[in-house]
Amino acid sequence: MNTNPTRDLILDSAQALAQTRGFNGFSYADIAAEIGIRKASIHHHFPTKHDLESELLERYRSGFVAQLESIESGAKGSVERLQRYAQLYTNTLSNHCICLAGMMASDVGALPEQLKPSLEAFFSEHMAWLTKVMAEGKSAGELNFSGSAQSQASVFLAGLQGGLLMANAMGDEAVFKKLKQTLVAQLK
Amino acid sequence: MNTNPTRDLILDSAQALAQTRGFNGFSYADIAAEIGIRKASIHHHFPTKHDLESELLERYRSGFVAQLESIESGAKGSVERLQRYAQLYTNTLSNHCICLAGMMASDVGALPEQLKPSLEAFFSEHMAWLTKVMAEGKSAGELNFSGSAQSQASVFLAGLQGGLLMANAMGDEAVFKKLKQTLVAQLK
DNA sequence: GTCTATAGGTGGATAGAC
DNA sequence: GTCTATCCACCTATAGAC
């Protein structure tokens, strides 16, 4: 695969900036300053900012896919799977940032058309995974809810995405942790 | 009050742009083009962009306060109150936009320090209102949930905020409508 | 692959005439 | 209150040397 170290440094820096300030809230100059390189060098790796954004989302999306598979093979119970899923967002939360896909969704009016399929795929994949966990959990008697598995999946996913917004707005990570617990608890 | 017509046009245009493209995703030139005025004229009403942002959030916040009061006096049942609250977001949804406060929360890393108190106030006010509705609804036997009223309020609020993100990402408003119904239904 | 230098455009903001 | 004209800083992006 593409394991160019400089390239990865650029992506890491860009992702952190994008998740805290939005896609229009940072520039090549910010990345350059952060990793100690010149703007022109970044253009060598990512000719346009759209290229950078596109790669960023794709990396983020496929990284999540791998983590979902990891949870599926590592956690047997539905409750534990949901907890570990929610934990993925908590890892993200640390420094006033939201989900990269959530960020893109918020600025969708300014999003280049080519990125929309990846963005849609991100949420579709998460919905599919969560819906499966909900359905299996209900069948196994581990989860208890009324309505469809899909509806519960969307409550769960939207709750986590919105919870990140709320925690940022309140400047209080505890808000998210409490919400995470409630979302799981009400499924038991 | 300040009912300058041009000023309101500017605010309306800026709000629509901010809710679809983010705060760093539009410029005075965009507003000028949209309402047929020059950039310099906008600076007359709002000397700096921070002034504009600040006023925008404050107007948005106080507008919601008025609507919450209106719901409280107009709707007696807790279920109806929650439905009408959720409806406030649906009105917003029309053209790929999210809650203005949610947008600010997403870009909190780029948000001027002076705006953070208003942003926090927005979510505090909504949480307080929803918590009260939840508590009263449970006491009256209209709502049924386990855990605290506050926890349920945060599930409800985060669900709606996240639902707007999801609907934008999927390019499908029906996603939000369904979610809205589920959030209310699971409280009965 | 990284650099210097720079082009070409747009951002927010100001001065001063009307 | 709105306009023209302009400033300067910053943006994305490119050319070409090393």
Residue A171 gets the label, from left (phi > 0), alpha (psi -120 to 50) or beta, of left
Q: What are phi and psi of B97, to 5 degrees?
A: -130, 155
- B52 nearest nucleotide via C1' and CA: C12
CA-to-CA distance for B152 and A92, rounded, in angstroms?
A: 24
CA-to-CA distance for A111 and A36, rounded, in angstroms?
A: 28
Chain B residues with beta carbon closer than 8 angstroms to that of A162 = 102, 157-163, 165
Q: What is the pLDDT of residue A91?
A: 73
The pTM (predicted TM-score) of the whole model is 0.97
Is B130 within 8 Å of B153 (Cβ atoms)? yes
Nearest residue to A127 via CA among B178, B107, B87, B156: B178
Q: What are phi and psi of B37, to 5 degrees?
A: -145, 170
Whether the pLDDT of residue B93 is over 80: the answer is no
Chain A residues with beta carbon closer than 8 angstroms to that of B179 = 151, 154-155, 158
Residue B182 identity (one-letter amino acid): T
CA-to-CA distance for B50 and B8, rounded, in angstroms?
A: 16
CB–CB contact B165 A178 (8 Å):
no
- The tokens for B55 are 């006023």
CA-to-CA distance for B61 and A86, rounded, in angstroms?
A: 30
B47 touches strand C (CB under 7 A): yes
Q: For all residues of chain B together, what is the average pLDDT?
A: 96
CA-to-CA distance for A104 and A52, rounded, in angstroms?
A: 13
Q: What is the pLDDT of residue A177?
A: 96
Angle at A61 between CA A55 and CA A64, to 5 degrees: 140
Angle at A11 between CA B24 and CA A122, to 5 degrees: 75
Helix (H, G, I), strand (E, B) or coil at B3: coil
Q: What is the DSSP code string of chain A?
A: ----HHHHHHHHHHHHHHHHH-TTS--HHHHHHHHT--HHHHHHHSSSHHHHHHHHHHHHHHHHHHHHHHHHHH--SHHHHHHHHHHHHHHHHTTT---HHHHHHHTGGGS-GGGHHHHHHHHHHHHHHHHHHHHHHHHTTS---SS-HHHHHHHHHHHHHHHHHHHHHHT-HHHHHHHHHHHHHTT-
Cα B176 to chain centroid, rounded: 15
B27 touches strand C (CB under 7 A): yes
A28 touches strand D (CB under 7 A): yes
Residue A88 gets the label, from left (phi > 0), alpha (psi -120 to 50) or beta, of alpha
pLDDT band at residue B29 under the 50/70/90 scheme: very high
- The tokens for A43 are 């253009």
User: Among partner residues A106, A109, A166, which is closest to B123 by beta-carbon distance?
Assistant: A166
Q: How far is A92 from chain B (nearest CA, A)?
A: 13
Give CA separation, B178 vs A154, B29, B154, B168, B184, in Å.
9, 38, 18, 14, 10
Q: What is the pLDDT of residue B46?
A: 98
Residue in the structure block whose two tokens are 């989900």: A99
CB–CB contact B158 A155 (8 Å):
no
Nearest residue to A107 via CA among B28, B19, B140: B19
- The tokens for B87 are 């409806």
CA-to-CA distance for A22 and B110, rounded, in angstroms?
A: 8
Q: What is the pLDDT of residues B113-164, one digit of tens each?
A: 999 999 999 999 999 999 999 999 999 999 999 999 999 999 999 999 999 9
Q: Which residues contact A111 (CB under 8 A, 6 or more apart)?
A: A23, A104, A119
Q: What is the pLDDT of residue B90?
A: 84
Q: Along the 188 residues of chain A, how does pLDDT read in single tens digits?
A: 567 999 999 999 999 999 999 999 999 999 999 999 999 999 999 999 999 999 999 999 999 999 999 999 999 999 999 999 999 998 776 668 999 999 999 999 999 999 999 999 999 999 999 999 999 999 999 999 999 999 999 999 999 999 999 999 999 999 999 999 999 999 99
